[in-house]
Chain A
Amino acid sequence: MTSVTHSNAKMTATATTRVLGVLAIAATALMTVLGLLISPADVIQGEAVRMLYIHVPSIWIAYGAFVLTSVSSILFLRGRKRREDRGRHYDRLAGSAAEVGVVFTGITLVTGMLWGKVTWGTYWQWDARLTTTVLLFVTYLGYLALRRLPADPIVRSRRAAVMALISFVNVPIVHYSVDWWRTLHQKASLSVGRRPEITGEMYWTLLYSTLAVTIVAAWLIIHRYRVIRLEELRDEETLAALISSRLDKDDGSN
């Protein structure tokens, strides 16, 4: 069994993450100024277009987080027999990225519903993009629930890794749903190999917002990773204490 000692365990904050945290706050503040004050209103959508700068980066970050979860899960499944500690490292990374991905998918859904109300006249429509996105949210919630089920840690991590890979199948479906089916949702604002739907200040504000949200997500994933590690340490200590007390009891009765 892997032993993680206190001497090499970190609290969730280090000098590096403190700098990253300050950077995340500054980047979010600038993103708010650009998105709400400097970027112009749209000719058709008016002020409602400002939802673009949180809605679109949120789903992109969620996609990225789920890619990280999948890659980490593959590395965990490949490496778990050879180097157990590295395997657990990838498992923690998968878990922390998935949780952050779920938070940003939730933000995407809520901001999309609000945006939909002013542009479509309804909060919700069971069209392909919205339905696949809510399915993505629910499947990754299931993944997070699976990680909390009581079981042997390695077995649980293996099951979670398989579940992560199954859940990831939906990510490209969500992304291409607007191309594959006729939906109420507009096509992608930015897409590789296609002329951008937006230009000028809106384009740059969207790109900057994506960068700012990426910094925030990176900070969150690093911290969540460290919290998972601390939770494992606590569980190992609790188990060791229980075994020790059981052995003491057995010695006393003999």
Chain B
Amino acid sequence: MSEVATVVTGWGITIFVIATYSIWVVSRGKAIGQELGIGEMEQLDPRKDAGATTDL
């Protein structure tokens, strides 16, 4: 494999892995949130967003 092909493969794999993992994390959060009945509208309220909890 040439240097350019190696670089493209390495960067491609990195971006693919990070993108796939990010999508999995967000989808899992949405799926469990829906299962628990936590609505997206609740999150759009900035007052709740600002001070709901000291957690992350």
Q: Is A171 an interface residue (CB 8 A)?
A: no
**Which residue of B6, B13, B33, B53 is within 8 Å of A8 (Cβ)?**
B53
| Pair B10/A47 contact, Cβ less than 8 Å | no
| Pair A117/B14 contact, Cβ less than 8 Å | no
Contacts of A229 in B (CB 8 A): 55
Q: How far is the CA of A114 from the CA of B32 in the complex (A)?
A: 37
Q: Is A46 an interface residue (CB 8 A)?
A: yes
Q: How far is the CA of A36 from the CA of B56 in the complex (A)?
A: 34
Main SS of the interface on chain A?
Answer: helix
Binary contact track A54-85/B, C-beta < 8 Å → 1, others 0: 11001000000000000000000000000000
Contacts of A140 in B (CB 8 A): none
Q: Which A228-242 residues sit within 8 Å CB-CB of chain B? A: 229-231, 233-234, 237
Q: Which residue from chain B places its CB closest to the CB of A96 in the assembled complex? A: B56
B residues contacting the other copy or chain, number (CB 8 A): 35
Q: Which residue from chain B places its CB closest to the CB of A103 in the assembled complex? A: B21
| Pair A230/B6 contact, Cβ less than 8 Å | no
A243 to chain B, nearest CB (A): 18
Contacts of B53 in A (CB 8 A): 8-10
Given contacts A35-B11, A226-B29, 9 further A-B contacts (CB under 8 A): A6-B37, A8-B52, A11-B38, A58-B14, A118-B1, A219-B22, A223-B22, A223-B29, A226-B56
Q: Which residues of B contact A (CB under 8 A)?
A: 1, 3-4, 6-7, 9-11, 13-15, 17-18, 21-22, 25-26, 28-30, 32-33, 35-38, 40, 42-43, 46, 49, 52-53, 55-56
Contact sample, A vs B, 16 pairs, CB 8 Å cutoff? A8-B53, A15-B49, A16-B49, A28-B18, A47-B4, A47-B7, A48-B7, A106-B17, A107-B18, A117-B6, A118-B3, A220-B18, A223-B22, A227-B25, A227-B32, A230-B29
Q: Which residues of A contact B (CB under 8 A)?
A: 6-16, 28, 32, 35-36, 45-48, 50-51, 54-55, 58, 89, 92-93, 103, 106-107, 110-111, 114-115, 117-118, 216, 219-227, 229-231, 233-234, 237
